[in-house]
Amino acid sequence: MPPQTPTPTDHRRWLRLTLDLAREAQQAGSAPVGAVLVDASGHEVARGRNRVGEAQTPEHVGKASVAHAEMDLYFSAGSLDNPETLTLYTSLEPCLMCGGASALLGVGRVVWVTDDPWGGSGRLIRWSDHPAMQDTEVIPTPDPELEREGARLFAPEARRAFPDEGWQLWRQRYPRETEGL
């Protein structure tokens, strides 16, 4: 059972926070991705940000390819009570690992700011076709203004990290946001 349906204002509030966390990750030397887990009452349960480029601490997994924002959030949250009532907000479409973890944990809804035409799960398997995602509501990019902001924020990382094919997919999906990079 998915959590209660949030309003566009609710989405905007949490998606804005994911972008703030993405900027924190970028300032710390990691890829700019942030995530927030919210309960059905609209209260924050946990937050995370990409920590791949950071040292590991007792509180956070770092310097590991699994130190994505969503995984940071799930590791810090620990055991989830009533995960089907929770919403994961993230600044970038989750990769297969993070999307799969969300489904396996039973998170009721996943909402992201910016599509990831190369690294997002949707490139490999449509979210609705993923066997573990059948009970998860997926809401991609509900706010066009924030989507453009997120694409501009992540585009330099996409240019740096993705192979030519991946960068071309980004340029096709976000031509204005990648112009000049």
Residues marked active site are found at 70
Q: Which amino acid is at 2?
A: P
Instruction: Read off the tokens for 132.
Output: 């573990």
Q: Are 60 and 31 in contact (CB under 8 A)?
A: no
Q: Which amino acid is at 74?
A: Y
Q: Are 147 and 114 in contact (CB under 8 A)?
A: yes
Q: What is the DSSP letter of 3?
A: P
Q: Are 29 and 54 in contact (CB under 8 A)?
A: yes
